[in-house]
Structures are given as C-alpha cells and as structure tokens.
A and B are shown apart, each in its own frame.
Chain A
Amino acid sequence: MKDSLTLLSRVSAHPDSRCWFVAWNPTGTLLASCGGDRTIRIWAKEDTNWVCKSVLGEGHQRTVRKVSWSPCGNYLASASFDATTCIWMKKTEEFECVTTLEGHENEVKSVAWAPSGSLLATCSRDKSVWVWEVDEEEEYECVSVLNSHTQDVKHVVWHPNQELLASASYDDTVKLYREEEDDWVCCATLEGHTSTVWSLAFDQTGDRLATCSDDKTVRIWKRQGAGEEKGVSKDEPSWKCILFYLYRCCSCKNPLSNALATACGDDAIRVFEEDAGSDPMQPTISLTAHMPRAHTQDVNCVAWHPKEAGLLASCSDDGEMAFWQYQIPSRGASK
C-alpha cells in the first residue's frame, strides 16, 4: 500500500488563496481549477510540466466554487458564491463567457452537465436545485426549480448514462430526481448520514453511488429493485446503503477502474477498491492507498483522469494542485 500513490508534481494553482475544485475535460487534455481568488484557470501538460493556458478572471465577483465541462468539451460551466453560474465557450486558446445564469438567491455551490449535453443542473444555499435546458441557439432556460431539500444544497451530479440527477445537502440527505411528464420530481431520498453530505459520485454503470459527509463517513449506495431486473417497483428503484467508511471528504469514482478516491479535511488522500470476488450486495472494500499530508492543508477535491489509468489530480486550501499516479497494489502487498 505504501507505494500505491506516487506524487508526480505540484503546482501553485491559486496562490494567496484556496483551490476549491478541479475538473478534467472529457478527453483529459485540459484541467480546469477554480478558487477563492475568483478565477478559473485552465491547465495543460507541456512536456512534464503543467502550464496555465488561460485565466478566466472576469466572470465572477466572488469565490468560484465548482466547474463542470460539457460532454463535448467545448463549454465550461462555473458556479460562484456571487449567486451566478457562468457558461464559458472555448475558442481555440481562449475562453469567453457567453452566458451568465442568474436566479439563485445566494451562493451557487455546484454545477453539473448532463451526459446528453442538453441539460445543466445547479444548486445553492437557497436550498434549491435548478435544472436548465440548452437549446440549439445556445439559449439557457430554467425548466425546473426543485425545493426538496430543507437546507443548503452542496453538490449535484448526473447519472453517467441516464437523465437522473443526484444532490447532496447540509440537511444530511441525498436526493434523486428524474423527469416526469415535463416536470422534474424528487424520486428518492437517501437518509443515513448524520451530518452535511458534501459530495456524490456514481460508478461507471451508475448502479452505485458513493457519498461522503461531515460525519466522517463514505457511504456506498446501490440501486435495488430497479424495474429492468426484478420489476418490484418499476418506476421507483430504491437505493440502499450497502457500506460506509469513516472519513470526511470529497469523493470521485475512477471512470476506468471503479477505484474510489477521497479528499479529506485531515490533509490526506485515500483510495479504496472493492475486493475481487466480494459479494455485490455486501462488498468488502479495502483502503488501497493512503497519503497523509498529501497537502499542507485540507484537501478539497480529487479527480481521476478520464483516459490515463491511475492519474489523479487533487487540490487544497493551500492553493496548490498536485498530480498523483495510482498503482493498484499487488495482492500480496495490500496487507
């Protein structure tokens, strides 16, 4: 386990500030970071170095909390404490802010592009989740305002291949939404965490969802009784927590291998993997990598590279980003 995570490089991404979030573009050629300095920065690798290709500084008046790439890779959406969401269009080298989505009453905490590319979700401290539709003219229209949470909504993610939306909140719950007769409705509430749920991540198939919380646990939820298999309840598959693991964090499922990485307020990065051959309903999951003091302060985010197996980016309150190579430990060494 010792050598399973190796530091490749460190970059001072948002000096004099904190780096909140990093996101790879779909092809993995670019990495976007955002932070307390109100900027978004776009990074690319040149030889062995990570170089800042552009700084998107004019869009937001306050902290940029999260960013999300469109599936086509030509757009970047950014959520900010200034209550707006900006849509940036990539023009060869530069990015241009083409639209500013307004409507939330206060801080926008997260934004996520649906796999189709025609839907966008945002969430805010105003307790709401908004679903936006993008038409051919690139006009954005709010199609639904979801007020299911009773508190601050911290994070939204889309199912990898369905129009299913998940949100995490300060009210300790996770909610799932789907479209029903032209409107979006909450179709499931996942209860179990005992404090703020900070982050969500689906696995490749979308059958399992990992959530992490201020209660210092990661929970893995599995979709059960989905209509396509058992037909118990065709429309309302239920989700069951099948496992939880201590540690508060932001999590990210590896799109290539199902390794789960966590970024944690104890300055550490951890990677978990399901043991081969474990019961799908009661899987055993092992800690396969633990990097204490990965950063000098809280780690805020981890992101697996979409194409290169085991390449992980992380960022922290210390303003830095770091790049890591994850090596699946050989069976014997994992002890």
Chain B
Amino acid sequence: MAEDSGTLWGLVEEFVTGQQDSKAAEVASGVKDGDFTVLQVVESLGSCLANTEPRTRSRGVQLLSQVLQQCYSKLTEKEVEVLVVFYENRLKDHHLIVPHVLQGLKALSMCDVLPPGLAVSVLKSIFQEVHVQSLMQMDRYTVYMIITNFMKIREEELKNLGADFTFGFIQVMDGEKDPRNLLVAFHIVHDIIAKHYNLGPFVEELFEVTSCYFPIDFHPPPNDPHGLTREDLILGLRAVLTATPRFAEFLLPLLIEKMDSDVQSAKLDSLQTLSAACAVYEQKELKEFLTSLWSSIRREVFQTASEKIEAGGLSALQSLSSCLSRSVLTADSEDYLDTVLNNVLQDCKHHLCEPDMKLVWPSAKLLQAAAGASSRACRKVTSSVLPLLLEQYSQQAQSNQRRTILEMTVGFLKLQSKWSDEEDENGLGAFKAALCSMVYSAVTDPSSQVHLAAVKALTVLGTQKGFLSAADIDLVVGHLTRLILMETDLQSCNAAIEASGSLAKIHPSAFITRMIPQLSSRLWTEPMEINANDNNGIQGNALRIRCLEALAAVSTHQSIVRETVPILLDYVKQAQEGKAAINSDDIVSVCKSLHQVAVQCQPDAESMQFYHNAVVPCLLSLTVQAAIQESGTPSTEHVLLQDAVVSAMVPVISAACTYLSPEFGASSVSRIVNLFLDGDVSLLSENNFSCKFQPFQMDASTEPQSRLVALLMACVCSLPRKVEIPHLVRLLQHLLSLSLSGRSSFAYSTSSKCFAGLINKFPTGEPLDEILQDAARRIESGLVDEPNRIQAITLLAWVTKALILRYHPLNGQLTNRMIDLLSDRELGVSVADLFSLLVSDSADILNKACHADIRIMFRQRFFTENVPKLVQGFHSASRDDKPNYLKALSHVLNSLPKQVLMTELPSLLSLLLEALSCPDQVVQLSTLTCLEPLLLEAADILSVHMDTLITKLLSLSSSPAMAVRITALKCMLALTKLPLHMLMPYKQQVIRALAKPLDDKKRLVRKEAVEARCQWFLLGSPGS
C-alpha cells in the first residue's frame, strides 16, 4: 500500500508539474486494477489543489476528471457524494479550472449510484455559478451532456425542481451559436416538453430561446468532420417547435411571417413545420389563424415555381384540414373545417372554370389536398366541385380543356375511393348518371388525349365498390374492347389494356362474355382480310399483338385464366401444325403473353396449378413433335424450334414451375425428366411419334431435339429447392456430355446452363464433389481438344458462376483457370467476354426467381479475391493480351455496387484511366460506364488525375463508336458536380473541346454534348 501510494504520488507529480499527459491513463488503470482508490487520488492531489497558482490547480482537477471518465462505473455511492461536493465547490474557482470541473461532473453524471438529491444540487450550482455561454464550445457541450445524463437517470428529481429547471436551462442555452451544441440543446428542450417537465410561466421564454433559430440557415463547411447537416438541425428544431400546442399562439404567427420570406428554404421549412404542428394541434389552437394560414398557403401554391414548395403547401393544407376534421364537434361550437373549406372553395373553385389558365392545376391540387384529409372534407369538396366540373365539361368545346377537366375529375374520384370503405353510402351516388354520361362521351371523343383521361376515369369508376350497375359494366367493357381493337392511337390503346387488367379482377364475367371472344376472334383474322377493308388503319400484325397483350392483361382472375390460356396455346398449336402463316415473331409474342399470365397467376396456387397442367405438357408436346419431324433434316426450319422461339418459351415454363408445391412439383418434374432421359412420352398430350425422342443422343439427326434441353432447363432449374429431381446424377452426366460436345451453340450453351443451374442447388457433400471433379477433369480435356474448346470454356464459365454464387470452395480454382485463359491466343477474347457472365445477373437461370443458392455479397467477395489477380495479370501480360485483362476487369467493376467500388477506387483509378486508352471499344465503354457514377463521389481521389481524365474523356468523345461517345459525354456532364475549384482550370478548354461533338453526325451524341457543354458554361457563373 505504501509502495502503491508512492507510485501514485509519483504519477501525480509527473502529470501536474511534469506536464506528462500520459500519466493520467496510468493513474486511471491503477484505479481500475484496484491499486489505489479514487479518494486516494484526491488525497494525493491535496497540495496542488490548494496551490495558489490556478494553472496548477487546474492541472490537478484535470487529472482527477480524466481518471473519473475512465472509472466512473466503479465508484461507490459514498465516493460519488464526496466527489460531487468537491466539484460543486470548485465551480466557483478560477475560470481556467471550470472546464475540467465540468468534465468531472459529466463523468459523475453517468454514475448509476449517484445519491438522491445530488443531481439537483449539481444543476443548481451550474445554473448559479457558471455563465455557460461564455465557455468554449466544447465546455458548453459538456454542460448539455451533464443535463442530458441527469434527465435520463434522475427525471423525477429534476421535475421536483419545478419550473426552476426549465428557467435554468433557458439561461444555459440562451445565445448558443454552435450548431453541434444546438442540436443537443434542441433534444433537451424537446424532452423537457415531451416528458412533461413543469414549464411554469416560461412557455414563451422557452419558445423564444429556440424559435430564434427558425428558419435554420446553416451551411456546413466543406469537408465538415462532424457530418452535421442542415437537415439534422431543421428536424431537431421542428421537433421542439411542434412539441406542444402551448407554443401555437407564438409559432403560428411566426410561420405566417416566414412563409412570406424571399428565401425559398424558409418558405419550405415554414410549410413543413406547419404540417408537423397540425399533427399535434386541435381546432382551438388553429382557429384564430385560419384565415391567414389559408391565404399564405394559397399564395405560395399559386405563385411558386418550385415543386417542393408546392408539395409543402399542399401537405400543409391537408394537415390543417385533417386537424380540423379530428376535432369533435359539439352542438354549440362553430365548425371551423366548414369555414376553411368554404374559403378554399371560394378562392379556388372559379379557377377550375379556366382550364387553359395556369392556376387551374394549383387550384385543383389545393382542393384535392383539402378534400384528402377526411371523409367529411372529401364529401364537402366533391359535392361542390363535381357539379361544376360536369357542367364545365359539357360547355368546353376544345379537347385540351376537356382533357384537363376529366383529369381533375379523376383526381376527385380517386379521393372518394380513399374514403369509401368508411362510408356506408357512396358519396358519388347523386352524380352517377352525370359522371357516366360524361365519361362515355369522352371515351368516344375524337381526341386521343381525351380518351386517355376518360380511360383513367373509367378505371376509377369501375373500381368503386358497387357504384356501377352490371349494365354499366358491360358498357364499360364494350368501350375498352373498342379502344383496344379500333383505336389508332397507341397510347389510348395501351391505357385501355391497362384499365382492362384492373377491372377484370373485379368484374371477370363481363370480360369473359364481352371482351375475350372478340379478342380471340381477331387473333385469327388473316392479315389479308384486314387489309381488304382497312378502315381503321390498324395493320393485321399490330392488331394481333394488341389482342395478345390484352388477353394477357385481363388474365387477372382464375375464371379468366381458364378462358385465355387455351386460346393462347391454341395459337401455338396452329403453328405446330403449320396451318396458318405464323412466323417466329408471332409465337414469341404469344409466349410473352403466356409469361405475363403466369406471373399474374403466381399468387394464387389454384390458378397456378391449372396453368402448369395446361401449359407445360402442351408446349413440350408441340415442340417435341416438331423436333421429331425435323430429325434428320440438316437445318432446323420449323418455326417452333428457332432459337428465339425456344428462348421465349423458357420463361413461360420457368414461371409455371417456380411456385409449385413439393408434391405436385415432384410428380410433374419426374415425368419431364423421364421424357428427356428415356423418351417417355406419357406426359405429352400428343404422343404418337414416328421415332423416339432422344435429346441427348448427339448425332446430327437429333440436333433439333437437343435444342429442347432449354425447356428441360426452364423446368428443373426453376423448381423450389425442396422439390426432388429424380435421376439427377444421370441427368447431370448427360448434360455434361452435351455441354462439351454439342454441335449447335444453342444446344451446348443451354446444356451448360442447365448443368450449372442444377449443381448450384445440389446439396453439399461427396456426391457433389465427385460430380464437380468429373466436370473439372472433362473441362480440362475439352480445353486441349481442338474442335471443342469453345464448348469447354462456356461450360467452365457457367460452372464457375454456379459455384461463385454459393461460395463453393472450388470456385477459386475455376476462376483462376479462367484468369489464366485470358492469355490464351485463341480463347482469350472470348474468355474476357465471359467474365461479364460471371458477375452479372442472368435472366433465365441462377437468379433469385428460380431459387438459386445466392449468398449475399458474392460480388464483393469475388471482387476482393480476384481483382488483385486480374490487375497483376494485366501488368505481367504481353501487350496483345492486356486488353483481355482490362476487359475482364471492367466487366467485374461494372457489376459492383458503387459503395464497394468507392473504397477500391484509389488503387484502381490509374488502371481505369489506362483502360480508357485501350483501343478496344468494349473496354472503353464498360470503363466509362463504370466511371460515370463514381465521378461524383470520388472528388478527392480524382483531383490528382483531372488532367488525364479530362484529356481522355474529351478524346473519347470523338470515338468512332457512338455508344462510347455518348458515355464519354455523360462522364463530362457528371464531372460538373465536382467541387468548383477542381473544374475551373479546365472550363475554357472543355467548353472549346465540347464544341466539336455539338456537330456530331448522331443526334443522340449531340444531345449529350449539349447537356454537358451547357452545364460547363454554368460552372462558376452567376445564377447557376
């Protein structure tokens, strides 16, 4: 002990007189280790605390406070008491000492064992002895922290102080200038109010001391290390100002005044604060100010050019109207909601009669905002506005004006549906006849713009529960059918298709009887017939596509799906039989529609099962039949076997298999696998074939059959992982063989994909390892086998991808193999392209939708493991091979999330800049695409490379490849967001250089050049 106290004396001495700061930590760890107690530390400081030189006393207190900050959790109640008394006394000491005293008190304020009464005592001392606002920023911050801590652990005691606490704090923060401190102070005031501390007579003072910062005008310095934003302060202050209705009488006049400010941000802040305040206010706080508030909001919405302020004003009005709607009406009180709505109607309604004038939309939006607040408001506004709009529609002759009126009407109708759940009786009932007659007349208006609005109105009316009668619905469906089949304007037709989709869900039978038969019959209209009496200008082909889109769109109800799917499949069947002159584009369109139907069916298991049973066997039957017919013919000519058609069927079958239940899925998949492995045709509806289906046979005669492996893939690779696939190992063997020696690129690459899709989901374990070993061995031998090298690298790439996604340990080895192959004379270029496959999402396989095993952050991991190797490979590669490495690298970088790339950018930037000089246009393009989003974020890193970057981008802006020119110019535009000082030295040079692409032969390039150049002109120029 004696020895310990000697050590302690020594440490104290060295800290206080020796000015060795590190000794404080040693004392603290001594206390923590139990070598000496805090009271011993105080004792050992005795002499210097009594020293006449303030600096020495200050140093002593500093030591004690630093120790306490480390050890406050170890203190006993008794120690805390002694220390608090000690520190309180010291608050009266020399000003040099006060900061250290506050540090000590802050440490003590975090002690759970703080004895009762001391918090109050400390605060009283601070309020009394310390003039907080003459302290340094740091020390003021400490005071706020002490108060915050006490409020957390001694709320009840502090509340016993009554209004004195509130008053004390008002004095503490009065005059605060530092934004960091203000943020804390705002939090304290908010808590004072929210936790119901006694404000006593100081409500106005508390409001004054905070509201003087409104509106916040703070612009963080560039590179602000505190990361404090303007938004933080705005929200902090707003929480205070809107914390209590008791501030209302002060806040509302302030908001009204600031809304009239010339500063846009002040207007916006005032409007948003008003919205927030209305959420806690009641009618009694607002009533005095309603007229002024409304006229300010109206003025801002009418006058502003800024969408933000308009949105702020509308939301403020809505909050206001909500607040008034909430208030309970008593028999004798005035209905202020009614008063405000009357004002709004009076000031806005007449503008609705001027559909050509600028104020028409602001007025409509204000009315809709007010109406959107409550059912009561909505009823009042719509009942006044709708008759006017209906009357206006009949009076206006110009289609522009009619469109505007219709669009406004749609806005009001939509609001109505927002409240219809609460209402027993639909508020629109009285207008039904008039509304219907307006919309029906609009939908036959000569102007397509009017149609568009009318279709929206139809949709809204049709979705209002029970609003339209069955006869009306039939009429609506008739109109939509007419628009789909006859309307020459594509936009109107598309809108009608979309509307049909929404309404079919609610009124399926009307669509089944009125629309689908018409669509179906038009599907079969021969092009010749249409052209013969061509009076509506829609070509046969376009009409067919519309019918297909509409059939898909309306398939939103099970009963409709049962009608539409057979129609679509029948079309494919006709193609198989060669009955009609159907080309591959037609079948691709049918497949798109089938796919859309599947996607719409997915949420409903019953529809899905119907769909699967109807579609999968049928498509397989038809294609197998076609393939068998074609077997032995040298080239595949059958329409159903073309690459585009088979590829279009893949998503259809995929979507039909993605959500199958395990039981149903297993039975279905086993029949499909049997078909492909053993030629078992029992699944197929049509199964009377001249020869056997042998897709894995791999001779010239069965080549058409091998193509259908794509459909096998679509099925087996998209099943949920729970569904077991029979004969999986045998299937994989066949796929491997076909991948490595298939003849057509379509066959071997889909076979590779199928193999990859299956091993991605194959459970970990020995069987998988064996399969992979075998695959790796066969790929290696394929790589030396001259005619099949391309097959081998394709398979290698897909297998590598499958393993990267699931983090399989073998992925590194395979990726290394791919990196090595970048130097291969013959294959290097193709391998470089295959790197894009490794990291990008593929549409038909190995994605989330088909339940692939994809680990999070696999790209980041791939990046970290392989980019250094690619960079190194680039440096050691021969000149001819370097572009391959750059290309591979730029594919990898392109796929990465921006944040990840940012951290790596410093090490990669010089390489990227080098890649910009690479003559390969693909490399240039992907490097530019990769750079563009980074330019904004990487100011610091870029600053040293500006010369090179600008020179290269400008030179690429005259590349022979249009896409490169466009992207280079986009980069030039992105650069303008960098700090001004980095750009100004280049401004004149860039403006001059960008004059050249203004005269590019391609319009799309000129467009980018114009944007970039105009933006460069604005740099550092007044008003920008």
Contact = CB atoms under 8 A, between A and B. Distances in A.
A17 B989 CA distance: 10
A17 B988 CA distance: 9
B196 interface: no
A21 B989 CA distance: 23
A16 interface: yes
Contacts of A16: 988-989, 991-992
Interface in A51-108: none
Contacts of A17: 988
A15 B988 CA distance: 9
Contacts of B989: 16
A17 B991 CA distance: 10
Interface of A: 15-17
6 contacts: A15-B992, A16-B988, A16-B989, A16-B991, A16-B992, A17-B988
Contacts of B992: 15-16
Nearest to B991: A16
Contacts of B991: 16
Nearest to A16: B988
Contacts, number: 6
User: What 6 A-B pairs have minimum CB-CB distances, sorted nearest first?
Assistant: A16-B988, A16-B992, A16-B989, A16-B991, A15-B992, A17-B988
At the interface, is chain A mostly helix, strand, loop or mixed? loop
Interface residues on B, range: under 10
Nearest to A17: B988
A223 to B, nearest CB: 46
B552 to A, nearest CB: 56
Nearest to B993: A16
Nearest to B987: A16
A16 B987 CA distance: 10
At the interface, is chain B mostly helix, strand, loop or mixed? helix
Interface in B551-588: none
B910 to A, nearest CB: 29
Interface in B296-355: none
A176 to B, nearest CB: 41
A327 to B, nearest CB: 34
A205 B111 CA distance: 104
B612 to A, nearest CB: 68
A15 B992 CA distance: 9
B999 to A, nearest CB: 11
Nearest to A37: B988
Contacts of A15: 992
Nearest to B989: A16
Contacts of B988: 16-17
Interface in B977-1009: 988-989, 991-992
A17 B995 CA distance: 13
A16 B988 CA distance: 6
Nearest to B990: A16
Nearest to B988: A16
A253 to B, nearest CB: 34
A16 B992 CA distance: 6
A174 B988 CA distance: 38
B985 to A, nearest CB: 12
B620 to A, nearest CB: 67
A15 B989 CA distance: 9
A15 B991 CA distance: 12
Nearest to A15: B992
A16 B989 CA distance: 7
Interface in B588-614: none
A158 B105 CA distance: 87
A295 B991 CA distance: 20
Interface string B953-997: 000000000000000000000000000000000001101100000
A218 B992 CA distance: 33
A94 B991 CA distance: 32
Nearest to B992: A16
A16 B1016 CA distance: 14
A203 B1017 CA distance: 43
A17 B992 CA distance: 9
A129 B951 CA distance: 48
B944 to A, nearest CB: 24
A16 to B, nearest CB: 4
A38 B279 CA distance: 59
B995 to A, nearest CB: 10
B714 to A, nearest CB: 60
A264 B991 CA distance: 25
A111 B991 CA distance: 31
Nearest to A319: B992
B959 to A, nearest CB: 23
A224 B992 CA distance: 50
A187 to B, nearest CB: 44
A15 B993 CA distance: 11
A184 B147 CA distance: 83
B301 to A, nearest CB: 41
A39 to B, nearest CB: 13
A118 to B, nearest CB: 41
A286 B992 CA distance: 39
B984 to A, nearest CB: 13
B911 to A, nearest CB: 32
B992 to A, nearest CB: 5
A270 B991 CA distance: 31
A15 B995 CA distance: 13
B986 to A, nearest CB: 11
A232 B910 CA distance: 84
A304 to B, nearest CB: 30
A43 B856 CA distance: 68
A241 to B, nearest CB: 40
A80 to B, nearest CB: 19
A4 to B, nearest CB: 31
A70 B451 CA distance: 76
A189 B714 CA distance: 91
B33 to A, nearest CB: 71
